[in-house]
Amino acid sequence: IANGIEAVRRLIKRQKFDEAIITLDRVLEMDPQEPEALSLKMYAKEQKWRVQYMNNVLDLSEYWISCVQDAEAAATPWQKILLYPPKQEWELISQRVPHVMEAVKREISPIERMITSRLETTPVNVEFDETPFEDVINSLRDMTGLNIVLSKEARSVTEGKTVTLKVQGVPLKNVLGLILRVDESLRWQVKYGVIYISTESEAGEEELLLEFYSISEITMVPPDFQAPEIALKTGAEEMGGGGDVEEEERGGGFDVDALIELINKVLDEHEQEVGEIEPGAGILVVRKPLSAHRKIQKLLKALRRTVGIMVTVECRFIEIRDNFLDEIGVRWTGLGRTINDIVPGTNVELGYHYITAGNDTEVRGALLNPFSVPTGIGFPFGIMSSGGLAVQMSYTDVFQIQAILEAVEKRYEALELYAPRLTVFNTQRSYVMAMYQEAYLKDIDVNTTGLPVLGPVIGILNYGAILDVRPIVSYDKKYVLLELRPSSARDFTGIMDRPGRDIILQGGLTTVTIELPSLVLTRLRTTVFCPDGGYVLIGGMKNFIEQDWQTGIPIINDIPIVRNVLRRRYQVKVRRREVALVRCDITILREQEKRLFGKASW
């Protein structure tokens, strides 16, 4: 018991409370009433709970700070198209390399690399006329300084055969292929540090190696996404700008059959005939000689550098408005009495009234100078003549005069920008849609069955911007062909009150106002070339209106100063310019990685 209690004290000191409690249980089995063991067990449990509580508090504090920092980091409005992780982290990620069979990874010997280079680059001039095959090989050996060795079976096949050939400036590789046509079974390959000529049966004995190549990123066909239309539609149709659109499968992937055909083109006849290439789910199962695997690896590496190109497209809808309105005029009216029947059926309030003492003469007058149409320019300029200054002047003597001076001047300058931005794969069609949705009273459904019930029909007004684009990068990766379908819709509610129409129901007992929304819609459909990192002006619109109206009294209107108290003048000049610019940036991951870290890992 004493030894157990001493062991428990050591365990508690090392904060191994669970082991201490188990040891104490064993001690209490021997003596259930041992007071020190009972006390230590209670103490161990309390300390265990205290440590757990403190750990929970520390964990909560740590994870709370981590969550807050993560939220703040997520709120950073990055403007870079592509953001790599920190350099040290990326160096670890870059070490992830695909599996490659050991035989393919082994370097080609310097001698074999030199022979391959000489075969492809050395031009040869030969002239053979019924020359024995062995003499032809000796001549090539002396001419090029390369070792050319025939297998035993190849010597047997070519014995007694002659070669007739005359060429100039042809690479040695092609000349060797022409010479070996003396027998269809002959094959050559760089092997054992020499040019080794053998027969098809001997070459067929070469070991066939099995390898699985991932081709998902090469054959992947990104789906196309067609953007919905944005507009107000007529009749019972719903608003544009919402709903799903069927996707169409079209993109820039490499067809698997075309890839296999391309692989066969880089292999020689012997490599094509032996083994097999079978496509799978995102992989190629290849069973071929080592030389074929090396060529396939080289081809796939080159293809991977051409796929996965992304293009970032930004379409900027810029609208500039510069509006000016000035209206000033005097109305002689408002005395409360009227001039009867100046125009049949109307009454005009007096602005001048004179009556003699004998009440035998009375003069009533008024000056009304409204324009033929309301002043101001509404949709889509949004500058009206409401508001301003109004001054009323009254004078009473033997006659009465009342005049109202009205004056207003307004200037309205605005710059609006909508700039949807989208990053897509090369040749993929996709869209970005940034929309605002607002409910409005579209109609009233009257249920006449039984007690009439009015049911509101709610419409959804969608406005904002949509960028629908398909980029096609040029072969030299300097330009992008852009199929563009950008649209922009702006609600006019912010500039003018939304118009409505009153519907009178139930014999005039109920009046319901139906809202009539208005949109400024800009839609472009075009195809343009744009340089990488450059801009193209794809469209625009200019509006300019200038008006100068006057109304007054003939003859007096020609008298300076006097005419100013008897006329109304209205001037307005509105200018509106809308342009649509597009910018594109090509993103090639290999180039970005090399620019940031000094080298590309793939």
One domain for residues 516 and 528: yes
- Assign 244 a pLDDT band (cuts: 50, 70, 90): very low
Average pLDDT over residues 343-359: 75
Is residue 583 domain-shared with residue 439, that is, in the same domain? yes
76 contacts: CB under 8 Å, gap ≥ 6: none
* pLDDT score at 498: 56
Length of the chain measured in residues: 602
pLDDT in tens, 38-71: 888 899 899 999 999 999 999 999 999 999 988 8
Same-domain check for residues 421 and 551? yes
Instruction: Read off the tokens for 282.
Output: 């995102």
Is position 324 within any domain?
no
Q: How far apart are CA 594 and CA 30, in angstroms?
A: 73
Q: Give the pLDDT mean for 556-577.
A: 89
Asked, as a colleague might, if the bond just before 289 is cis with ω within 30 of 0, I would say no
Instruction: Tell me the per-residue pLDDT of 441-467, one tens digit each, with 9 for 90 and over.
Output: 888 887 767 666 778 888 888 888 899
Q: What DSSP designation does 533 have?
A: T
- 91-98 long-range contacts (CB < 8 A, ≥24 apart) are 91/597, 94/597, 94/601, 97/601, 98/214
**3-state SS, one letter per residue, for 339-406:** EECCCCCCEEECCEEEECCCCCCEEEECECCCCCCCCCECCCCCECCCCCEEEEEEEECCEEEEEEEE
Long-range pairs for 390-395 at CB < 8 Å and ≥24 separation?
392/334
Residue 129 lies in a domain: yes
463 and 533 assigned to the same domain: yes
Asked whether residue 118 falls in the same domain as residue 216, the answer is no
Q: Which residues pair with 572 in a beta bridge?
A: 325, 547
303 and 245 assigned to the same domain = yes
- Where do we find the tokens 């992989």? 283
Model pLDDT, residue 100: 58
The pTM is what? 0.65
Do 239 and 139 fall within a single domain? Answer: no
φ, ψ of residue 452 to 5 degrees: the values are -60, 130
Helix (H) or strand (E) holding 576, with range, is strand 568-587
Q: What is the pLDDT of residue 241?
A: 41
Q: Is the pLDDT of residue 249 over 50?
A: no
Residue 572 — very low, low, confident or very high, per pLDDT cuts 50/70/90? very high
Give a yes or no: residue 88 inside a domain: no
Are 130 and 26 within one domain?
no
Does residue 9 carry a pLDDT above 80?
yes
CATH of the domain at 179: 3.55.50.30
Dump strand ranges (E) for 172-309.
Answer: 186-191, 194-199, 209-214, 276-279, 283-288
Residues of the domain holding 4: 1-75
Q: Does residue 371 have a pLDDT over 70? A: yes
- CA distances 431 to 367, 464, 483, Å, are 60, 13, 12
Domain end residue (candidates: 384, 413, 442): 413
Q: Name which residue leads in pLDDT, 87 or 571.
A: 571
Name the pLDDT band for 470 (thresholds 50, 70, 90): very high
End-to-end CA distance of the chain: 68
Tell me, yes or no, whether 503 lies in a domain. yes
How far is Cα 390 from Cα 387, in angstroms, rounded to an integer?
9
Whether residue 143 sits in one domain with residue 68: no
Residue in 368, 424, 379 with CA at minimum distance from that of residue 568 = 368
Q: Is residue 19 part of a domain?
A: yes
Share of the chain above pLDDT 90, in %: 19
- For tokens 């509610």, the residue is 493
Asked whether residue 279 falls in the same domain as residue 372, the answer is no
Q: Helix, strand, coil % (nearest 5) of the chain?
A: 30, 40, 30
pLDDT digit string (tens) for 87-130? 888 887 777 666 655 555 555 678 888 888 888 888 888 888 88
Q: Which range scores top for mean pLDDT: 263-277, 359-373, 376-390, 469-483?
A: 469-483
* CA angle (386 as vertex; 383, 392 as ends), nearest 5: 150
State mean pLDDT over 513-539.
87
Please report how many Cα atoms fall inside a 13 Å half-sphere around the Cα of residue 547, on the Cβ side.
Answer: 18
| Tally of domains within the chain | 5
- pLDDT score, position 240: 42
> What is the strand order of the sheet 186-191 is part of?
148-150, 194-199, 186-191
Could you tell me how far CA 596 lies from the centroid of its own chain?
Answer: 23
Between vectors from CA 247 to CA 241 and to CA 252, what angle results, nearest 5°? 120
* Within a domain: 450: yes
* Among 347, 352, 333, 354, CA closest to 405: 333
Are 444 and 537 members of one domain? yes
Return the structure tokens found at 291. Answer: 């030389």
| Range of lowest pLDDT (286-290, 325-329, 379-383, 508-512) | 508-512
C-beta separation of 540 from 276 below 8 A: no
390 and 436: one domain? no
Higher pLDDT, 367 or 582: 582
Q: Write down the residue that tokens 């009216």 correspond to.
A: 333
Q: Is residue 313 part of a domain?
A: no
Cα 224 to the chain's mean position, in Å?
13
State yes or no: pLDDT of 539 exceeds 60: yes
- Judge whether 94 lies within some domain: no
The last residue of one of the domains, among 413, 430, 464, is: 413
Q: How confident is the model at residue 247 (pLDDT cuts 50, 70, 90)?
A: very low
Which pLDDT value is given to residue 506? Answer: 60
Are 465 and 491 in contact by the 8 Å Cβ rule? The answer is: no
- Range list of β-strands (E), 378-517: 389-396, 399-418, 421-425, 430-447, 453-473, 479-484, 487-491, 500-505, 510-515
Q: What is the pLDDT of residue 122?
A: 86
Percent of the chain topping pLDDT 70: 88
Q: For the residues 257-265, what does the mean pLDDT come to?
A: 88
The average confidence (pLDDT) of the chain is 83
Q: Mark which of 413, 446, 468 sits at the end of a domain.
A: 413
* 595 pLDDT higher than 70: yes
